[in-house]
Amino acid sequence: MLEKTRGIYLHHINYSETSIIARIYTERFGIQSYLINGVRKRKSTIKKNLFQPLFLLDLEVYYRPGRDLQRLKEARLSVPFEHIPFDIVKSSLAIFLSDVLLKCLKEEEANEELFDFLFHAVALLDLKKEGIANFHLAFLFHLSRFLGFSPQASNPHQALFFDLDTASFSASEPSHHQFMDTETTTSFKQLFQFDLGKIELLSFNNRQRANLLTQLLRYYQIHMDMTGDLKSLAVLKEVLA
């Protein structure tokens, strides 16, 4: 059945000499894999340059429930980007966040709240001019709420440590090793204060930013059972250094 949906492109692999299989998070059907025939041909009606990390798309798809591989009829830009493809920091962030989402988004069903968060967050990344070096930190923090492991904020001002296992703050050092130290916990608390629209108000130096990212990724690995390396991480760290 031919259906229309918005989608957020994440990744693709080549399939035959002219086609690709694209992994796209869709508004109506959750995460899906689409066979896109002939897209690598010069005269393809669907342009391959549409499939870049976090591009926001309007799609026409042939949807058959239960199939591992769907087919895509048409794709066009939903929100044309002005900066992400041309700004090295923003494009590196887009590649990194695509990698994270590829590991986290598993459900083949609609999640309107999650999709709306992702769609508007990506659009904001393109438009935002200040605080971009903090974008991924705030993004990961707020994304955790939609994925079901939001940090618990009870008495954070009195706590010295954030326990990654229990997703809660603690006044004393946990007995295990999965926690943020006092300095990183102090940085982490700032993320409760500002939404993505106010990332320029976050005050981190490069070392604090790097430490907080390391701990946020540990947090995701614990609660999302993320496996494998994020190949884009090294590039992102170099760009933001």
Positive or negative CA dihedral for 76, 82, 84, 87?
A: positive
Which residues neighbour 39 within 8 Å (Cβ) at sequence distance 6 or greater?
18, 19, 20, 46, 47, 48, 51
66 has a pLDDT exceeding 90:
no
> CA quadruple 79, 4, 33, 142: dihedral positive or negative?
positive
CA-based Rg of the chain, rounded to a whole angstrom?
19
pLDDT tens-digit series, residues 195-216: 999 999 999 999 999 999 999 9
pLDDT tens-digit map of 144-194: 999 999 998 766 677 899 999 999 999 899 999 999 999 999 999 999 999
What phi and psi, each to the nearest 5 degrees, are found at residue 229?
-85, 155
CB 226 within 8 A of CB 192: no
The confidence band for 108, taking pLDDT boundaries of 50, 70 and 90, is: confident
Alpha-carbon distances, residue 19 vs 3, 36, 142 (angstroms)? 21, 6, 35
The string of DSSP codes covering 29-88 is TEEEEEEETTTTSTT-SS-GGG-STT-EEEEEEE--TT-SSEEEEEEEESS--SSTTT-H
Whole-model pTM?
0.94
- 212-225 average pLDDT score: 94
Q: How many angstroms separate the most distant Cα atoms in the chain?
A: 63
